[in-house]
Amino acid sequence: MSDDNRTIYTIVDELRQETTITLEKYVADILQEHLSDVHAWVQSTYNLVAERKPHLGWREKGNVVRALFLREALKHLEASGALKDF
């Protein structure tokens, strides 16, 4: 998948190091329509995962954030009625 199909967010990890998390563009686009600040949501979600699951490595934490991101996008799609035919 090319970079055109992904959205990259810069976040600060639990060590206060700047890093990035890459998310699927179509999911990011859905949430940009429904959340006032997607970047803040990604950062707060990462912080929550890091706090609750400190034993996970950076890749696993990113995977959890991506799964939560997808779940949030699907929730908004379902609420909008976009998934009623599936």
Cα distances from 7 to residues 25, 38, 51, 53, 85, in angstroms, run: 5, 11, 24, 24, 27
Establish if 85 belongs to a structural domain. Answer: no
Establish if 39 belongs to a structural domain. Answer: yes
Among 33-37, 52-56, 79-83, name the most confident range: 52-56
Q: Tally the domains of the chain.
A: 1
Structure tokens at 43: 């950062």
Establish if 21 belongs to a structural domain. Answer: yes
Range of the domain at 49: 3-80
Residue-wise pLDDT for 7-48, tens only, equals 999 999 999 999 999 999 988 998 998 899 999 999 999 999
Establish if 66 belongs to a structural domain. Answer: yes
- Name the pLDDT band for 84 (thresholds 50, 70, 90): low
